[in-house]
């Protein structure tokens, strides 16, 4: 059985070998042809690859040559840029060195300034330390005084707590007033030492340059008559003419025993001048009756208006003002016939304008607003008989309504301290107003007014406690006050002088300034036996 199987297997293996041999015989030619085809294809592929490689190589070489040429050009450009950058860097370094040098110099200067400021701050701190020390000493003295005073109050058993508190408060207020007076005196002395020389130079220079004549004008107008019979014509039948004259002109005629003279009285200087001219024309004509009075008054009113306009225009040309409102020009013209202490107000305004311009030039400020404010400061005097209030406030309101600058309006309303002066123009107007009114020959007063004013000055100063004698000197511009040394000490003397000066400012009207000097003298005497 096994042998049979082996024989079958061997037979099958032999048949398989035969079949493989037959297959090899048939497949070998096919494989040979295929191999030849593959070799041909491979050779064609190799040739194509070589051709493509040569093409690529040529292109690569050409591109490399182009890149190399472009690289050389870029390299040259980069080298040029590097040279320019090197030069720019060198220039920048030089500029930086210069700026550093300037900065170092500036830093050095600033350090020097800081060092000087630190020195000044150190000096100020030292001064403040001294001031603090002095203040501490004063506080210690006040505290000691209060302690002693409190002890004294506690010792007095009759005082109640409220009475003791009131007395302590009064004592503290008294000490504060004395300290304030001392500080004010020190400040005034310091300011006086530094400002006196400058102020003297400015005022002397200004007053030397202004030497205008001032004519004192009467406040009562008189008309001279050719004969005593003319008084009867002026009065007329049953007083008809004089009544008509007073009704038309608004002025009063005073016909007394004065020979060949009639007085024209009116609080309005323009109406008074108009009435005077009308009466003079009537007296010259000789025909006096109601119709002629009305015609003469109309002609005189036109004449006075023309003179006022002409005077105002002449004054404006003299002070160099060309843009004033027409209403203000008309009002200014009426001041031609207005006087103050015998001083013509319009001439006073022109003089003040010149003074303000020169003082402003000396101080180095703009002279135009100062001159304009000084020229308009008394314009309210033309309306004081029509409007209520002081002429300063009336004039300021008038200037404000006609478009004047607020600084000009403020200078007008502050020149008599109804309003506190806040600008340089306001202070300048006060100064030049005092110079114009106080210089010799500018103003005059009657004997009665002079005596009344002098007596009032002494009376007000004598009303204060501790005053023994008062002497008004130099036409009331210098008041010497003698005090009792046992009631007024040195610090209270300063307080008294200020109080008297403030009382004069509040209760009196006067030209210029009044200097108040309080004199305290202590004497000790003994008799040798």
Q: Spell out a b/e string for 177-192, using b for 16 or more CB atoms within 10 Å of the CB, else e.
A: ebeebeeebeeeeeee
Q: 433 and 339: one domain? A: yes
Spatial distance between the Cα atoms of 66 and 75, rounded to a whole number of angstroms: 14
Chosen domain end from 319, 346, 364: 319
User: Would the pTM of this model clear 0.85, i.e. be above it?
Assistant: no
**CATH code, domain carrying 305:** 3.30.1370.10
β-sheet bridge partners, residue 262 = 223
Higher model confidence: residue 460 or residue 120? 460
Mean pLDDT check: name the lowest of 39-48, 207-216, 351-360. 207-216
User: What's the whole-number average pLDDT of the chain?
Assistant: 78
pLDDT number for residue 511: 67
Q: Which two tokens stand for residue 384?
A: 């004081």
Q: 267 and 285: one domain? A: yes
Q: Would the pLDDT of 488 be above 70?
A: yes
CB 262 within 8 A of CB 253: yes
Region of residue 511 (left: phi > 0; alpha: psi -120 to 50; beta: else): beta
Question: 307 lies in a domain?
Answer: yes
Q: Would the pLDDT of 384 be above 50?
A: yes
Angle formed by the axes of helices 447-462 and 490-507, nearest 10°: 140
Question: 514 lies in a domain?
Answer: yes
Spatial distance between the Cα atoms of 119 and 125, rounded to a whole number of angstroms: 10
Q: Which two tokens stand for residue 425?
A: 């123009």
Domain region containing 375: 333-444
**CATH code, domain carrying 512:** 3.30.300.20
Mean pLDDT of 350-360: 88
Contacts of 285 by beta carbon, 8 Å cutoff, 6+ apart:
292, 296
| Count of domains observed in the chain | 3
Q: Which of the residue ranges 46-60, 181-195, 218-232, 312-326 has the most confident prediction, judged by mean pLDDT?
A: 312-326
CA distances to 138, 177, 181, 362 from 132, in Å:
10, 20, 19, 40
Dihedral (CA of 87, 92, 94, 95) sign:
positive
Question: 90 lies in a domain?
Answer: no
Q: Would the pLDDT of 249 be above 80?
A: yes
Mean pLDDT check: name the lowest of 35-44, 108-117, 256-265, 512-521. 35-44
Residue 478, φ and ψ in degrees, nearest 5 = -135, 120
Question: 346 lies in a domain?
Answer: yes
CB 398 within 8 A of CB 378: no
Per-residue model confidence as pLDDT tens digits over 127-178: 767 766 776 777 777 677 667 766 665 565 455 666 767 777 777 777 777 7
Spatial distance between the Cα atoms of 214 and 224, rounded to a whole number of angstroms: 25
pLDDT number for residue 447: 46
Question: 373 lies in a domain?
Answer: yes
Query: What secondary structure does DSSP assign to 64-118, as a single string?
Result: HHHHHHHHHHHHHHHHHHHHHHHHHHHHHHHHHHHHHHHHHHHHHHHHHHHHHHH
**CATH code, domain carrying 432:** 1.10.3210.10
């Amino acid at each position: 059985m096994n042998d049979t199987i082996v024989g079958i297997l061997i037979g099958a293996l032999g048949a398989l070998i035969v079949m493989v041999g037959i297959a090899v015989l048939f497949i070998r030619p096919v494989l040979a042809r295929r191999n030849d085809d593959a070799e041909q294809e491979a050779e064609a592929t190799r040739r194509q690859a070589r051709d493509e490689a040569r093409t690529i190589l040529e292109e690569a070489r050409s591109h490399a040559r182009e890149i190399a040429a472009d690289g050389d050009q870029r390299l040259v450009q980069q080298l040029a840029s590097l040279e320019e950058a090197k030069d720019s860097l060198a220039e920048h370094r030089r500029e930086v060195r210069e700026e550093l040098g300037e900065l170092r110099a500036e830093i050095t200067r600033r350090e020097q300034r800081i060092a000087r400021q630190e020195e000044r701050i150190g000096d100020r701190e030292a001064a403040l330390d001294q001031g603090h020390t002095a203040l501490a000493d004063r506080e210690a003295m006040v505290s000691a005084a209060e302690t002693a005073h409190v002890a004294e109050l506690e010792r007095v058993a009759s005082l109640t707590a409220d009475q003791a508190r009131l007395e302590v408060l009064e004592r503290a207020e008294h000490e504060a007033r004395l300290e304030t007076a001392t500080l004010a005196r020190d400040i005034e002395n310091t300011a006086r030492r530094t400002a006196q020389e400058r102020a003297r130079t400015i005022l002397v220079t200004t007053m030397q340059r202004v030497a205008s004549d001032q004519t004192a004008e009467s406040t009562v107008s008189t008309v001279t008559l050719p004969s005593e019979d003319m008084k009867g014509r002026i009065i007329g039948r049953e007083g008809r003419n004089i009544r008509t004259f007073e009704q038309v002109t608004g002025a009063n005629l005073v016909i007394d025993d004065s020979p060949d003279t009639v007085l024209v009285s009116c609080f309005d200087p323009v109406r008074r001048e108009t009435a005077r001219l009308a009466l003079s024309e009537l007296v010259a004509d000789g025909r006096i009756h109601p119709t002629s009075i009305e015609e003469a008054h109309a002609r005189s009113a036109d004449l006075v208006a023309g003179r006022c306009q002409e005077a105002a225009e002449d004054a404006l040309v003299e002070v160099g003002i060309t843009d004033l409102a027409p209403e203000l020009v008309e009002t200014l013209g009426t001041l031609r016939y207005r006087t103050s202490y015998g001083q013509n107000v319009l001439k006073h305004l022109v003089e003040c304008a010149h003074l303000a311009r020169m003082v402003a030039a000396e101080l180095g400020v703009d002279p135009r607003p100062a001159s304009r404010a000084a020229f308009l400061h008394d314009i309210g005097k033309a309306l004081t008989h029509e409007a209520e209030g002081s002429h300063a406030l009336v004039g300021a309101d008038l200037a404000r309504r006609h478009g004047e600058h607020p600084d000009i309006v403020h200078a007008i309303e502050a020149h008599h301290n109804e309003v506190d002066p806040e600008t340089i123009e306001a202070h300048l107007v006060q100064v030049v107003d005092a110079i114009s009114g106080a210089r010799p020959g500018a103003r005059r007063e009657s004997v009665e007014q002079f005596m009344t004013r002098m007596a009032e000055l002494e009376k007000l100063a004598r009303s204060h406690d501790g005053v023994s004698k008062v002497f008004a000197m130099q036409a009331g511009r210098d008041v010497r006050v003698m005090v009792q040394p046992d009631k007024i000490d040195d610090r209270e003397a300063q307080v008294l002088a200020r109080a008297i000066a403030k009382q004069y400012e509040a209760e009196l009207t006067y030209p210029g300034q009044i200097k108040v000097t309080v004199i305290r003298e202590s004497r000790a005497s003994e008799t040798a036996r």
